[in-house]
Amino acid sequence: MQIFDLEDRGLRALNQTLHDQANDTNQTSWEIINPRGSHAIAVGLDAPIEVKIKGSTGYYCGGMNKQADILVEGSVGPGVAENMMSGTVVIEGDASQYAGATGRGGLLVIKGNASSRCGISMKGINIVVHGNIGHMSAFMAQSGNLVVLGDAGDALGDSLYEAQLFVRGTVKSLGADCVKKEMRAEHIALLQNLLDMAGADASPKEFTRYGSARQLYHFDIDNTGAY
Amino acid sequence: MDENKINKPRTMPIQSATFSGSVNAEIRRAAATGIYDIRGGGAKRKVPHFDDLLFLGASMSRYPLEGYREKCETSVILGTRHAKNPIELDIPITIAGMSFGALSGPAKEALGRGATMAGTSTTTGDGGMTEEERGHSEKLVYQYLPSRYGMNPDDLRRCDAIEVVVGQGAKPGGGGMLLGQKISDRVAKMRDLPTGIDQRSACRHPDWTGPDDLEIKILELREITNWEKPIYVKVGGARPYFDTTLAVKAGADVVVVDGMQGGTAATQDVFIEHVGQPTLACIRPAVQALQDLGMHREVQLVISGGIRTGADVAKALALGADAVSIGSAAMIALGDNDPRWEADYNALGTTAGAYDDWHEGNDPAGITTQDTKLMARFDPIDGGRRLRNYLKVMSLEAQTIARACGKNHVLNLEPEDLCALTIEAAAMARVPLSGTDWIPGREKF
């Protein structure tokens, strides 16, 4: 285990050190202490390493992550795991706005609640939120899966493309072109796998699936009321 | 017919200036189709522009440099503020961002070839980085756009600079729409969307709002790329003084200001013609902002929107820009709107020079299309050569003017080298009206 004191050595040294870890590094386990809400912690990683952050972080923690497994023992600011490509990012606490924004792969787990616009423009990432999510979540979400064990706020899945949304609790309102869909066997299997990976104790049968009605895929003057 | 009626004096039919033929045609088109006009390009209306400025040249108080003999440098370095690896360009003319999707792969390749031969950079666009342009562009600026189509850290690391796009001159405050006709399998895959659907590009970024957030976003991008890449911030010509100030505050190495003549692949005509300011009106406020911050020349300013000639380049530099960027002009150099395809333009209901329905994917020149048959009309090697030639000519023209003004570097041109032909241009460029010492809004008449 490598211990890195962020307060002592600074952000630039941290990210450079983590970037310097190649695929064959034997320093595969890192613990970052004293994060004190700093922004851009552990961004742009591209090696199969484990990074544990002992405390809460600011904006963009784990941004554009590839391969690495990042655990935050605290809460995170806006844009956690934005544009993540692969690997995992697990948040023990809550997440602010835009969690997993534009993520293209990997798994983001938020054990607390996520604020508004969770999964905005997601492009293949899987996001599992143990608590609730805020308004406008999965706005223009393109692909991937968003799983919510709690409730969803207003305008869930507005202008949704091909991402799939699974919500166990209530949905305050659906956004434009987002509709309730049938849970078929393949969805049950997919969801069970995601719940297992996220360490979530829930049954897929408790969830409702939402997806795109695909009515806004081509511009139509008669749809302008929906925009 | 009654002879009295024939000979009776009559009022001559008068067309309304307000309800002109083109206005009425647009009303009829809107009534028939129920959709606003979408088109490519920039503002077509006449606005004060570089043509309204003149260089004074050398005289008793200024002596010129000898053409072809005395050196006049054109090189420029962008990104000197924070980046470990600033971009060094041979000429102060760069190629603006144009997406793969809006443009074909071979057209992007040609832009890379031409820019590289001329010693300058080209820029990606909304849709990600293609191998064609990376492979053929020695210096490539990677746009970081609201849609984040194709965005990935590997391409961030293999680019030469990052351009955070806040807005563009054709549509400050607007997003984009790439219609389904141009969403081929390849375009769709790069954007993670189904083939053939209309693809909206968001108007604002998904994970930051405002200059305070942008400062943190720029920090993240710098950390991901180990502070190697210059970071540009591109804004549309909306509030150039404040936008430039805030971009500098957010940490930009380079500010790109794009006036309303700057083109787009597709947006509403009403947006192009009625939102944003002319390029000429944007330069001096942006320069003023940099000067007020003590950042002029430390943070470089790139101006775009309607740059066509070396004279335009020289005028933009004289007003304080460090470089310019061209998009529409580069496309014309490649062969866009070439009269050789006039019969095809006519078949589309238009004419060479006026064709702007780039979003429909039927470009006779094979540049703004994903149709393989049309694309085959365009040769990227020849296109690259044409662009190289055009860039070289623009540079020679700018050098010619700079020498005539006694400057041994084009960046030494200054507002004092200029006068304006119209009151409007004098006010915008903050140079005297020709034949007077009057700068409207600045000094007493």
Is the residue at B34 inside a domain? no
Q: What is the pLDDT of residue B35?
A: 83
Closest-CA distance of chain B to residue A162, Å: 8
Q: How many CB atoms lie within 10 A of CB B209?
A: 13
Q: Where are the alpha helices (DSSP H) in B353-440?
A: 372-375, 380-404, 423-429
> What is the domain extent for residue A33?
2-215
Residues in B touching A98 (Cβ below 8 Å): 206-207
Tell me the average pLDDT across A172-185: 97
Q: Which helix (H) or strand (E) holds B201?
A: strand B199-201
Q: How many CB atoms lie within 10 A of CB B436?
A: 14
> What is the domain extent for residue B315?
40-413
Is the residue at B444 inside a domain? no
Which structure tokens are listed for B435? 């034949």
Is the residue at A31 inside a domain? yes
Distance CA A173, CA A169 (A): 12
Given CB atoms, is B142 within the 8 Å cutoff of chain A? no
Give me the residues paired with residue A171 across strands.
Answer: A152
Distance CA B313, CA A195 (A): 59
Tell me: pLDDT of A226 over 80: no
**A102: closest chain B residue by CA:** B148
* Among candidates B34, B151, B194 on the partner chain, residue whose Cβ is nearest the Cβ of A83: B151
Residue A157 near residue A136, CB atoms below 8 Å: no
Phi/psi at B337 (5° precision): 60, 30
Instruction: Name, in order, each residue with C-beta under 8 angstroms of B311's C-beta and a sequence gap of 6 or more.
Output: B50, B55, B397, B398, B401
Strands (E), chain A: 2-5, 29-33, 50-54, 69-72, 88-91, 107-110, 123-129, 143-148, 164-167, 178-181, 208-212
Q: Are A217 and B208 an interchain contact pair (Cβ–Cβ within 8 Å)?
A: no
B34: left (phi over 0), alpha (psi -120 to 50) or beta: left
Is the residue at B176 inside a domain? yes
Tell me: pLDDT of A121 over 90: yes
Is the residue at B318 inside a domain? yes
Q: How many CB atoms lie within 10 A of CB A207?
A: 21
We report the CATH number of the domain holding residue A45 as 2.160.20.60
Handedness of CA B425, B427, B431, B435 (dihedral sign): positive
Q: How many domains does chain B have?
A: 1
Given CB atoms, is B224 within the 8 Å cutoff of chain A? yes
Tell me: pLDDT of A219 over 90: no
Given CB atoms, is B348 within the 8 Å cutoff of chain A? no
Mutate to test the interface with A, among B223, B267, B360 (most CBs of A within 10 A): B223
- The CA distances from residue A165 to A103, A116, A138, A193, B372, in Å, are 15, 15, 8, 15, 37
Q: What is the pLDDT of residue B273?
A: 96
Instruction: Name, in order, each residue with C-beta under 8 angstroms of B11's C-beta and a sequence gap of 6 or more.
Output: none
Which residue matches tokens 């008669």?
A: A222
Given CB atoms, is B34 within the 8 Å cutoff of chain A? yes
Q: What angle do CA B134, B137, B140 make, to 5 degrees?
A: 75
Q: How many domains does chain A have?
A: 1
Mutate to test the interface with B, among A19, A21, A43, A97 (most CBs of B within 10 A): A43
Residues in A touching B217 (Cβ below 8 Å): 59-60
Q: What is the pLDDT of residue A22?
A: 85
Distance CA B152, CA A176 (A): 28
Distance CA B145, CA A102 (A): 11
Q: In this structure, are strands A208-212 and A164-167 parallel, antiparallel, or unpaired? A: antiparallel
Residue B164 near residue B214, CB atoms below 8 Å: yes
Which residue matches tokens 């434009």?
A: A176
Is the residue at B33 inside a domain? no
Residue A136 near residue A120, CB atoms below 8 Å: yes
Q: What is the pLDDT of residue B330?
A: 98
Residue A52 near residue A27, CB atoms below 8 Å: no
Which residue matches tokens 């692969």?
A: A86
User: Exposed/middle/buried for A180, CB within 10 Å: 0-12, 13-18, 19+?
Assistant: middle
* Among candidates B148, B213, B224 on the partner chain, residue whose Cβ is nearest the Cβ of A102: B148
In the predicted model, residues of chain B with pLDDT beneath 70 are 1-6, 443-445
Distance CA A110, CA B183 (A): 35
Distance CA B91, CA B272 (A): 29
Work out the mean pLDDT of chain A and round it to a whole number. 96
Torsion angle of alpha carbons B251, B255, B258, B259, nearest 10°? Answer: 100
Q: Which residues on chain A place their C-beta less than 8 Å from a C-beta of chain B?
A: 11-12, 15-16, 19, 39-40, 43-44, 46, 58-60, 63-64, 66, 78-79, 82-83, 85, 97-98, 101-102, 104, 117, 120-121, 123-124, 139-140, 142-143, 159, 161-162, 217-219, 221-222
Distance CA B323, CA B301 (A): 7
pLDDT in tens, A60-95: 999 999 999 999 999 999 999 999 999 999 999 999
Give the three-state DSSP class for A35.
coil
Give the three-state DSSP class for B327.
coil
Q: What is the pLDDT of residue B4?
A: 63
CA-only gyration radius of chain B, Å: 23
Tell me: pLDDT of A171 over 70: yes
pLDDT in tens, A179-189: 999 999 999 99
Chain A, chain B: beta-carbon pairs less than 8 Å apart: 104
We report the CATH number of the domain holding residue B158 as 3.20.20.70
Phi/psi at A134 (5° precision): -85, -170
Helical packing angle, B105-118 and B380-404, nearest 10°: 40
Tell me the average pLDDT across A164-183: 97
